[in-house]
Structure 1
Amino acid sequence: MTLFNQIFTWMLVIFFCIVLGVFGIELNTTRNFLLSQQTSDVNNTVNSMGLALAPYLESEDKVAAESVINAFFDGGFYREVNLTLLSDNSEITREYPVQIQGVPQWFINLDIFPVITEKQTITSGWMQLAEVEVVAHPGYAYKQLWKSFVQLGTIMAIIFVIASLIIGWQLQRSLRPLARITAKAGEIAKNKFGDPIPLPPTTDLKTVVNAINVMTDQLKRYFEQQAKEADRLRKAAYRDPVSGLGNRSFYVAQLNSWLTESGIGGMALIKVDLISDAYENQGFEAGDLVVEQFANHLTTTIISDDNMTAARLSKDEFVVLAPNTDPEDLLVLGERVIAMVVDMQADPSELIQPKVAVGLAVNGGGNQKASVLLSQADNALSQARNTPEHPLTLIDHSIGDAAMGKQQWKALLHEAVAKELFVFKYQSATDSQSNRLHQEVFSAIEKDGNYYGAGHFLGAVEQLQMGEILDKHVVSHVLKTLDQDPSVGPLAVNLTLSSITNASFIRWLGTILDQHRRLAGQLLFEIPEGAFVRYADHTGLLTDQIRQAGFQFGVDNYGRNFQSLDYLQRFKPDYVKIDFAYTSHIEDDAQDNVLASICRTAHNLNITTIATRVETEAQLAHLSELFVNGFQGYIFSNTDKEN
């Protein structure tokens, strides 16, 4: 029970008791008055009757006496009249049945009025002539008391209702600052800080509100400082300070992660002689300025795919990892890099050869090692430097489905949706005690004995803007599965970037989730971190639809982007899946500190942190000490199943 309800209830009880007491006092006063009036009436009637009967009783005229009695008591509220003549002890008795109209029987049965009996001796001088006994009937008194009861009860009820409304309004008005404090406390418990509470007019509550506002501001600053510290550690460990791109450690982690997932795509190794010339001829400041300029152009105008990762390997060497990219797109990337450097050379005559070389390597999947792929890219770079007029070389080792073009993937995806060629696997995410948190849904296509994992076709899906088709199919399938067997859940579905930025998909998802609110605890959505960083408005619309329907969502690839982690405060996801780059080398103290910092940032916001690709008990034990709540990987493969 809320404080308002408790105070309001007790105030109503007290006020009701007061009203009831006043009602009882007023009713008792009316009852006493009617009783006194009835006694007086009976007494006056008996006295008047005695004076009227005396002459007739002296002459022993019984007929006249009866006439007097009838005249006195006909039509009155009297039950019985008994006249005893003392001369011969004869009696004259009259009984008058009285019906009380308009008074409920239960009210009469309360016996509020006692039976009033009046006896008197009729005399003439010193001689006693007769005795008269009159028994009154309280019908009139009941009728008047019932009338007063109804009128007084109605008035008291109206007063009670009006007073209750006034008390409730005033109490609510007085407790409004307390309601704000309660709501604010609830938000603080969920690490939502918001705007400060306005100071109330009540003196004693001003101190409380002031304290809460100060505490909220301090907590907000603490979390902001913690997020900044996590960003600082992350950037120090994984970001090149001059270019702002990832460093070699970050790139190697991303490369290993990509090769473990699918390895489909390619990479570009870039050597920028323009940068080395600037360092040698103009000094470090000029060289750093060229590096910064090149990195900005690379991230803003060259890399249009959110899955691409750029890093600086050395003074003048850069690398771009392009998962799920076909050779044609990789060549376009190389050409754009060369054109960009030519623009930076500022040569109006265009006679100077490009001071850059680009080596492209395409990987065909499989268990390719990182060192082998880097060697291929380095070999392509060497060949490119041997053709300075057009320093671009591509080495393509893709075979089979990895060599399929975009249109082939498009046709296959449409066919897979139309003919239900998709198959789904589930991988469990559990806590350290192996209690299942949820299962992640992995989709693949099976056709003619060939198996195409999501890593093979996701690049084509994003480039062809087919994410809406794929995600609608997967979400519909998962909802159907949960309808048939809710115990399978909770299931986590990954959403593509092209769907997240598609207004049509957002509307569709909001509608279908609203129709399946009963499954709110069984379905979760995983959204890549890049969506929160680059497409915050679109992602906000999507997460609003998810929240309004009662469902939950998480962040995939948490920490991959070097932007601030402040988005956690705005979107408040239910969980985050740590990017593999942070968990691949936890034996390194610097990377260990970064992992602990970014996990602490999420943990302190009551956001579950999940590490992926946990393969050994040692990893599990170490990650458990670093604010990691959930784990997903081969160590839990015995809980996975295929649908």
Structure 2
Amino acid sequence: MSRPLVCLNYQRGSFSLRALLLLFTGVLLVAVLLASMSASYGYFRQYVSSQLAGHAQDGATAVGLSLSNAIDGRDPVASSSLIDAVFDSGRYLSVEYLDHSGVVVAGRRTGLRKADAPAWFIHFADLPTPVATAQVVRGWQRLGLVNVVSHPGRAYRDLWRIAVALVLSAAVISGIGLLCLWFLLRQTLQPLNALERQAEAIGRREFRQRIRVAGTRELRQVTVAMNTMADQLEKLFYGQARLIQKLRKFNNEDPVTGLASLTAFDQRLKVEVQSEERAAPGVLLIFQLSQFAKFNMSRGRQEGDRLLARLAKIIEHFTSQHADAFAGRRMGASFVLYLPGVSSDDALPWCQSLLADIDDAYSAVANPLAVAVHGGLAPTVDGAGVPELLIAAESALRQAQSQSESGCRLLMPGSGAQLGAEAWRVTLQEALALKRFALWLQPVMSCAGLVHGKPLYHQVFSRINTADGALKAALFVPMAEHLGLIAAIDRQLIRRVLAHLRLRPQMPLAISLGNASVKDPKFQQDLLAELKAAGAVARNLWVGISELAIHRHREAATRLVQSLNDLQVSVVVDRFGVGGVPFSYLKNLRLEALRIDNSFTHGIDEHGDNRFFLKSVVDIAHSRGVKVFASGVETVEEFKVLCNLGIDGAMGYHLGRPFTADNHQLTGE
């Protein structure tokens, strides 16, 4: 998975801006309401207390006047009757009539009866119970005092009702205020959610997402700025991608046919034939159109270029039917094609069929010119390099050109045992049935990792165990693709790799899928089921998909990459640089890394164009959060140059040779 360009710092437990504003404003609102409620409660308590004191004083005055005027205060019986009548109203705690010496002449007293309020509230309110006093006189004679204390039951009841009303009103006002505030913040801050999604999309290098300009003036300004930044980043990325694509075409493709240029073909052929890591049997074909100079003179150069471009489509269709095959244009009407992992017995009829198709297309356009197409085949042999292979193919071409009709000749520069297609079918089916595919691992090292000795991960290769030794994947994979057996091999490989990861989860592994496996819906279904069943173990797996598979099977490859992203399985674009694919897939797919093909790294210390190309690739990939790895590093000089270019890691015989995985641990077959 690609790493974000901008890392958004999320912290567990941190508040969102909306929550923070709601909390702050809510606390402030509640504090204001509490203060208001407290002030109102204090006012009502004071009011009730004053009412209670006034009631007591009125009662004391009334009793005092009655004892002074209506009833003879000197008569204890009459005084007691009056006090009983007043006390029985239930509104007083005590009513007492005292003489000069403080002796109670008559009186009644009771405790605080249960009020219509909770006990805790009565304890909290604690209303004062002042004693009201009045004089009792007869003429000029002072008889005594009347002391009255009002009963606070009604006061507590009234105060309780007032308090409940205050709390309910504060709660309702707070709730309505917070709800209105939440709705207002939701509408006001809604652009922030879009800004967050856009920032995350930019972090994933997706620049298409735009935000509708809305909200407050400040948020509108931020929104406009973010949209502008996304537009500029998208233009920058597309500009870089177009530049890299043009550089690749300029350096590696023939401008007329779109096939590999002479330099690019020779570089890749050198890797396939002479590189210790990838060297495997194959067949080289050189073919040439006869009478093409006359055709150019009679029809014009533009017509000749159109003919070459049309023939290139036929050649590309042929190479698409043969795994890892590649073709190029040497000069004029001379083409070259290499078929890896193919025997001369199989290559001869295939190439004759190709030349027949080209001859039909050429003859139809060149009529009435008598034209022909001649080809020369040469298989690779041990000990022979690219020069010897080219010489043999050109000699075979000259033999074919000695005949007037179209045809192909085969020249064997030496002897070498090669299996035909049917022999390979038997060998591969037997290996599948008996599970003879062994896992070999090769470390991928960073520039610093070579010093510390710890690889970033290990690339997995499969080999077939035979009595004569292990057959490398470079030998049998092209034929397995041609015979339709690569998906079965990849299934077995996946099971063994996942079994290895279960036993050694600390060792990340990377596998490369065959092109036919990528486009096979049944294989995709089986692969995803295996990865889901593996659970967290699968997250230590890197799945490689060749750039050529992305080019030829775009929809199937995109669907597979997205499914792997959902399972948090890292995806690597394998053999980057030879697929001829525009860089747009870097924008549409979430990728972990690119793995540069051997043909670009081989001899890169002496190849200035490849260095410039790789430096541009590294820069644009890193700007997208995609790592860049290199393969086929065989010398210390190549590795130094790659490190200076800023790659994230590399593999090759210089950094570590493949070694067999521990067979006793692979029990998950």
Q: Are residues 340 and 84 of structure 1, via their aligned partners in 2, closer, same or farther at CA, if it must alter by over 3 Å? A: same
Instruction: Tell me whether 1:285 sits opposite 2:285 in the alignment.
Output: no
Equivalent residue of 2:645, what SS? coil
Give a deviation string over 1:328-369, Cα, whole Å, max 9, x none: 6534531332222232244699999761122333447x6653
Q: Are residues 52 and 571 of structure 1, via their aligned partners in 2, closer, same or farther at CA, if it must alter by over 3 Å? A: same
Instruction: Tell me whether 1:536 sits opposite 2:554 in the alignment.
Output: yes
Aligned to 2:258: 244
Contact residue 133 and residue 148 of structure 2 kept, 8 A = yes
Deviates more, 1:79-88 or 1:249-258: 79-88
Contact residue 585 and residue 591 of structure 1 kept, 8 A = no
Matching residue within 280, 295, 313 for 1:296: 313
Alignment partners' CA distance in 2, 1:132 and 1:368: 136
Aligned to 2:401: 385
The residue type equivalent to 2:359 in the other structure is V
Aligned to 2:10: none
Aligned to 2:4: none
Alignment partners' CA distance in 1, 2:18 and 2:337: 62
Aligned to 1:567: 585
Contact residue 440 and residue 658 of structure 2 kept, 8 A = no
The residue type equivalent to 2:437 in the other structure is F
Contact residue 266 and residue 362 of structure 1 kept, 8 A = yes
Aligned to 2:324: 307
Equivalent residue of 1:442, what SS? strand
Aligned to 2:543: 525
Q: 1:89-238 residue pairs with structure 2 within 5 A?
A: 89-90=103-104, 92=106, 94-100=108-114, 103-136=117-150, 138-200=152-214, 202-238=216-252
Alignment partners' CA distance in 1, 2:94 and 2:538: 80
Deviates more, 1:525-534 or 1:434-443: 434-443
Instruction: Tell me whether 1:492 sits opposite 2:507 in the alignment.
Output: no
Tell me how far 1:130 sits from its aligned partner.
Answer: 3.0
Aligned to 2:54: 40
Alignment partners' CA distance in 2, 1:470 and 1:66: 117
Tell me how far 1:100 sits from its aligned partner.
Answer: 3.7
The residue type equivalent to 1:188 in the other structure is I
Tell me how far 1:510 sits from its aligned partner.
Answer: 3.7
The residue type equivalent to 2:417 in the other structure is I
Alignment partners' CA distance in 2, 1:337 and 1:247: 20
Tell me how far 1:527 sits from its aligned partner.
Answer: 1.1
Alignment partners' CA distance in 2, 1:94 and 1:629: 100
Aligned to 1:581: 599
Tell me how far 1:577 sits from its aligned partner.
Answer: 0.6
Alignment partners' CA distance in 1, 2:116 and 2:502: 64
Contact residue 402 and residue 456 of structure 1 kept, 8 A = no
Q: Are residues 496 and 72 of structure 1, via their aligned partners in 2, closer, same or farther at CA, if it must alter by over 3 Å? A: farther
Alignment partners' CA distance in 2, 1:99 and 1:472: 89
Deviates more, 1:530-539 or 1:93-102: 93-102
Alignment partners' CA distance in 2, 1:415 and 1:552: 30
Instruction: Tell me whether 1:604 sits opposite 2:623 in the alignment.
Output: yes
Aligned to 2:426: 408
Alignment partners' CA distance in 2, 1:472 and 1:101: 84
The residue type equivalent to 1:355 in the other structure is A
Q: Are residues 347 and 537 of structure 1, via their aligned partners in 2, closer, same or farther at CA, if it must alter by over 3 Å? A: closer
Task: Extract unaligned runs of 5+ from structure 2.
Answer: 1-14, 663-669
Q: Are residues 501 and 62 of structure 1, via their aligned partners in 2, closer, same or farther at CA, if it must alter by over 3 Å? A: farther
Alignment partners' CA distance in 1, 2:102 and 2:506: 104
Alignment partners' CA distance in 1, 2:319 and 2:631: 30
Alignment partners' CA distance in 1, 2:270 and 2:338: 11
Aligned to 1:373: 389
Q: Are residues 164 and 409 of structure 1, via their aligned partners in 2, closer, same or farther at CA, if it must alter by over 3 Å? A: farther
Tell me how far 1:54 sits from its aligned partner.
Answer: 4.7
Contact residue 554 and residue 576 of structure 1 kept, 8 A = yes
Instruction: Tell me whether 1:319 sits opposite 2:333 in the alignment.
Output: no
The residue type equivalent to 1:369 in the other structure is G
Length-normalised TM-score, structure 2 = 0.85
Tell me how far 1:6 sits from its aligned partner.
Answer: 2.8
Instruction: Tell me whether 1:356 sits opposite 2:373 in the alignment.
Output: yes
Contact residue 422 and residue 444 of structure 1 kept, 8 A = yes
Give a deviation string over 1:127-173, Cα, whole Å, max 9, x none: 33332333445444334333333343233323323322321222121
Aligned to 2:525: 507
Higher relative contact order (CA 8 A, sep 6+): 2
Tell me how far 1:410 sits from its aligned partner.
Answer: 4.2
Alignment partners' CA distance in 1, 2:162 and 2:328: 93
Contact residue 506 and residue 541 of structure 1 kept, 8 A = no
Tell me how far 1:55 sits from its aligned partner.
Answer: 6.6
Matching residue within 357, 364, 372 for 1:340: 357
Contact residue 517 and residue 550 of structure 1 kept, 8 A = no
Q: Are residues 12 and 206 of structure 1, via their aligned partners in 2, closer, same or farther at CA, if it must alter by over 3 Å? A: same
Tell me how far 1:193 sits from its aligned partner.
Answer: 0.8
Deviates more, 1:139-148 or 1:585-594: 139-148
Equivalent residue of 1:432, what SS? coil
Alignment partners' CA distance in 2, 1:640 and 1:7: 60
Tell me how far 1:245 sits from its aligned partner.
Answer: 0.7
Alignment partners' CA distance in 2, 1:154 and 1:191: 53
Aligned to 1:424: 439
Alignment partners' CA distance in 1, 2:139 and 2:486: 123
Instruction: Tell me whether 1:22 sits opposite 2:36 in the alignment.
Output: yes
Sequence identity percentage: 25
- Aligned residue pairs total 638
Tell me how far 1:408 sits from its aligned partner.
Answer: 1.0
The residue type equivalent to 1:72 in the other structure is V
Tell me how far 1:64 sits from its aligned partner.
Answer: 4.8
| Structural RMSD (CA) | 3.3
Instruction: Tell me whether 1:84 sits opposite 2:98 in the alignment.
Output: yes
Equivalent residue of 1:114, what SS? coil
Deviates more, 1:108-117 or 1:522-531: 108-117
Task: Extract unaligned runs of 5+ from structure 1.
Answer: none
Equivalent residue of 2:228, what SS? helix
Contact residue 609 and residue 630 of structure 1 kept, 8 A = yes
Aligned to 2:12: none
Contact residue 602 and residue 633 of structure 2 kept, 8 A = no
Give a deviation string over 1:413-439, Cα, whole Å, max 9, x none: 4314xx4x3322222223211153322
Alignment partners' CA distance in 2, 1:476 and 1:78: 94
Contact residue 375 and residue 409 of structure 2 kept, 8 A = yes
The residue type equivalent to 2:461 in the other structure is F
Alignment partners' CA distance in 2, 1:398 and 1:23: 102
Q: Are residues 511 and 95 of structure 1, via their aligned partners in 2, closer, same or farther at CA, if it must alter by over 3 Å? A: farther
Tell me how far 1:312 sits from its aligned partner.
Answer: 0.8
Alignment partners' CA distance in 1, 2:408 and 2:600: 33
Q: Are residues 477 and 25 of structure 1, via their aligned partners in 2, closer, same or farther at CA, if it must alter by over 3 Å? A: farther
Alignment partners' CA distance in 2, 1:158 and 1:46: 43
Alignment partners' CA distance in 2, 1:77 and 1:210: 74
Tell me how far 1:246 sits from its aligned partner.
Answer: 0.4
Give a deviation string over 1:597-622, Cα, whole Å, max 9, x none: 22222122221111112234432222
Alignment partners' CA distance in 1, 2:389 and 2:399: 15
The residue type equivalent to 1:392 in the other structure is C
The residue type equivalent to 2:393 in the other structure is A
Alignment partners' CA distance in 2, 1:617 and 1:77: 108
Equivalent residue of 1:86, what SS? coil
Contact residue 422 and residue 445 of structure 1 kept, 8 A = yes
